Structure 1
Amino acid sequence: MNQPITSPDTVNQPRINTLPLNHELINRAGGDYKISTDILSELRVATLAYLSIQQEFNRIGKTVKNYQRPDLKRLEPFVEAMLESIIRNPAAAVWLARLKSKSSYAYRHSISCAILCCVMGRQLNLDKKELFQLALSGLLMDIGKLHLPDSLLRKSTELNSQERAETRSHIEHGLAILADSNLSSEVIDAVQYHHERFNGCGYPKQLSGTDIPFYARIAGIVDCYDAMTSPRYYATPIPHSEATLKLAGWRGRLFQKELVDTFIQAIGLYPPGSLVELTNGEVAVVSDYKTGMGRKPKLTVILDVNKRRLAKKKVISITGKEGSIDIARNLPPDAYNLDPEALF
């Protein structure tokens, strides 16, 4: 029987149980997924699933705000459709997950987290049942915020201690909303513990290491990444590259190292939908999918060297050959006053 690895005791550091990820996956892995469609054809299917989830989630939101019990069963076929799209080709769903706008942050964040949790599970080769449960975890983990006042959620200045405590109460609200919902215990664990951190500095119970439930560890990484890269009332978005650097710096402290590495591998160095500036000054959006750390994505150029919209978009491929056009830097999703949704 595999025994958890325990970090050495220090005066100020509690014991942290850490079971190796490959040991946790022994009874979970069941998928062997290959990309079977191109991004353009998959976008049509994924978009329909996304819009259906959005519509149903908005309906659920109204029900929850009226303190009525939501009918989560109605979500299931649309989540299943998105899951199947992610299995065929994650690029389309990742692109949709990166469409950001401040005014619709709440529901976009929830759907984006559902997508990214599922994409991360695909990278771990989890079976379809687990992918479905992970998607629900991402979608529902912040449902308790629907019981918080809009004035708190939209505050643009730093929260005081009372406001922080009220914000943290979204976990209790979420658990109350989902009580008697017949969701799996792992989904409920993700709702309850996605703000726990690997070194024990999170909340609500200061769990640490692999004492934090598996889905909650995945959801915590996804939640943090999507928040950092989204426009919010109190923060401007940061580029994907900066967000992944921050996550990499938090490996082993805030998040499990192997899971952070899995997340970065799953969405790639330049995920579809990312804005980039080229070495010749043009601005492009990444329009295909490369997992891992490869530097050869296909790009659709949208701004010329003077940052003016091109009358006709052009598609280029980065070759990596010396002297050829290359990616100079990642850009935030609203760079040069671009509307991220208009790029889609």
Structure 2
Amino acid sequence: MLKKITSDQVCLGMYIHGFEGSWIDHPFWKARFLLQNPRDLGKIRDSAVTAVWIDSSKGLDCRAAAPAVASESPASSAATPAMSPAVVAAAPVAAPVAVAPSVKAPAAVRLGSCQQELAQAAEVSTHAKYQVARLFQDARLGKAIDLGEMDAVVEQISASVLRHPSAMISLTRLRTADEYTYIHSVSVCALMTAVARQMELSTAEVQAAGTAGLLHDVGKLLTPPEVLNKPGRLTDEEFSVMKRHPEQGVALLQEWQASAETIDVCRHHHEKFDGSGYPDGLAGTQISLLSRIAAVCDVYDAISSTRPYKTAWSPAESIRRMAEWTGHFDPQVFQAFVKTLGIYPIGSLVRLSTEQLAVVVDQHPDNLLTPKVRVFFSSRSRTPLPQRLLDLSRAPAGERILRRELPEEWGFRNLERLWQQA
């Protein structure tokens, strides 16, 4: 039986079913667990949580608890404040970008800087890539698949996203061509987890989003390698073969007894909001929310990654172009996605009002327009400058971002070295 009690009524031995309010108010990744550690009890009482849901059938009851209520937690809202995609599309030339400075990134997610999380995110990414590669290899060999092993992978990725959403997402863009399939799965998992949290979905929905992201492309196991890795434009016949992977993935996931949410995302992550996608031509809210999130995350990771047939677009350029694709994405989901990564995602090359070039190294928790940047080049003299970190939220009056720049137009390579520096 579920009961709602105040945080000061919580005691050791209770089974925590959930926390009242937004996920950002509580200090735990898992919302459901048996409370056994005195430290965890202290965290609950010291947090902003005012009420806790306990399951008395799985742990201790409390005499001081509130009367039993219906056994379901309050519904979560997926609403996101409006922000037109046109705003994002205009950002490369606008000065300043036409977004209210009060538009917030998911500040409470960040427990440290991006640089502090990078090392741990790299370990998580490497382990996740190995696990996904092993899953794919076992599937090719016809071995029995236990998807329960993927739960821990999703939890590790989600924990990294919780500590800092951009570290894992930025790292997974750095990949070799031969590991694209595996890292793409890890990246979409991280992206979907971050967007689901931005949209304030429940803990269970965030976990479902991560699992679906990790497994959304399993159907490509059955796509012929000569089509999957072709270093050029696909013919109509080859594209027809490629378009079978969602349905082929569904068959695999059903065999593996995957969740309904995972199967749905596998089948529908190529649907478009205007109904022009495949395989079912669904439109609007006919497409599940997780599949609409997957559609955005899958495309972003694909176009911001180097493939055999194309060079990667920069993070900022990828978002700008996606904003121009009218009808492709759910506008509300796309807004949440932009707020998650920032108008100037980590790794973006920007021109400042001082005519200096800089790379974005971290987002400001309260303002998407004032990230932290590493200044390194003069656009006037076209010469390198002594590198300096600049927090644009504390910069001298008038010092701001003018616009995005394309690294290839400046001949810059390996800009990741700048944003990975401590």
TM-score, normalisation: structure 1: 0.80
Q: By how many angstroms is 1:83 displaced? A: 0.9
Counterpart position of 1:269: 343
Q: Aligned partners of 1:64, 1:75: CA distance in 2, in Å?
A: 14
Alignment of 1:100-115 (within 5 A): 100-115=175-190
User: What per-residue deviation string (whole Å, max 9, x for no partner) do you get for residues 147-167 of structure 1?
Assistant: 222221222222111100110
Contact between 2:271 and 2:283, CA under 8 Å: does it hold in 1?
yes
Contact between 1:100 and 1:333, CA under 8 Å: does it hold in 2?
no
Number of residue equivalences:
316
- The 3-state SS of whatever aligns with 1:324 is coil
The residue type paired with residue 112 of structure 2 is: D
Equivalent of 2:150 in 75, 92, 114: 75
Counterpart position of 1:250: 325
User: What per-residue deviation string (whole Å, max 9, x for no partner) do you get for residues 238-265 of structure 1?
Assistant: 23333223333335x2221111111111
Contact between 1:189 and 1:216, CA under 8 Å: does it hold in 2?
yes
Q: By how many angstroms is 1:41 displaced? A: 2.8
Q: Aligned partners of 1:58, 1:113: CA distance in 2, in Å?
A: 15
Q: 1:339 to 1:154 in 2, by over 3 A?
A: farther
Asked if 1:124 is matched to 2:199, the reply is yes
Asked if 1:294 is matched to 2:368, the reply is yes
Equivalent of 1:217 in 278, 292, 303: 292
Q: Aligned partners of 1:167, 1:239: CA distance in 2, in Å?
A: 25
Counterpart position of 1:227: 302
Equivalent of 1:241 in 316, 333, 341: 316
- The 3-state SS of whatever aligns with 2:329 is coil
Alignment of 1:200-211 (within 5 A): 200-211=275-286
Asked if 1:149 is matched to 2:149, the reply is no
* Greater Cα offset, 61-70 or 325-334: 325-334
Q: Aligned partners of 1:126, 1:102: CA distance in 2, in Å?
A: 33
User: What per-residue deviation string (whole Å, max 9, x for no partner) do you get for residues 61-98 of structure 1?
Assistant: 22223343433322221320221222232132232243
The residue type paired with residue 27 of structure 1 is: A
Counterpart position of 1:96: 171
Counterpart position of 1:62: 137
Q: By how many angstroms is 1:267 displaced? A: 1.2
Counterpart position of 1:87: 162
Counterpart position of 1:35: 109
Q: Aligned partners of 1:161, 1:204: CA distance in 2, in Å?
A: 16
Q: 1:109 to 1:340 in 2, by over 3 A?
A: farther
Q: 1:161 to 1:308 in 2, by over 3 A?
A: same
Counterpart position of 1:170: 245
Contact between 2:212 and 2:263, CA under 8 Å: does it hold in 1?
yes
User: What per-residue deviation string (whole Å, max 9, x for no partner) do you get for residues 102-134 of structure 1?
Assistant: 343222221111111111001111122211111
The residue type paired with residue 257 of structure 1 is: P
Equivalent of 1:186 in 222, 242, 261: 261
Q: Aligned partners of 1:33, 1:282: CA distance in 2, in Å?
A: 28
Q: By how many angstroms is 1:323 displaced? A: 5.2
TM-score, normalisation: structure 2: 0.67
Q: Aligned partners of 1:270, 1:158: CA distance in 2, in Å?
A: 30
Q: Which runs of 5+ in 1 are unaligned?
A: 1-25
Equivalent of 2:388 in 311, 314, 334: 314
Q: Aligned partners of 1:182, 1:213: CA distance in 2, in Å?
A: 20
Q: Aligned partners of 1:334, 1:145: CA distance in 2, in Å?
A: 34
The structure with higher relative contact order (CA 8 Å, sep 6+) is 2
Asked if 1:197 is matched to 2:245, the reply is no
Q: Aligned partners of 2:194, 2:353: CA distance in 1, in Å?
A: 30
Contact between 1:229 and 1:332, CA under 8 Å: does it hold in 2?
no
- Aligned sequence identity (%): 30
Contact between 1:140 and 1:191, CA under 8 Å: does it hold in 2?
yes
Q: Aligned partners of 1:337, 1:65: CA distance in 2, in Å?
A: 40
Q: 1:287 to 1:33 in 2, by over 3 A?
A: closer
Contact between 1:240 and 1:330, CA under 8 Å: does it hold in 2?
no
- The 3-state SS of whatever aligns with 1:178 is helix
* Greater Cα offset, 205-214 or 97-106: 97-106
Counterpart position of 2:90: none
Q: Aligned partners of 1:68, 1:307: CA distance in 2, in Å?
A: 57
* Greater Cα offset, 39-48 or 260-269: 39-48
Q: Aligned partners of 1:213, 1:334: CA distance in 2, in Å?
A: 40
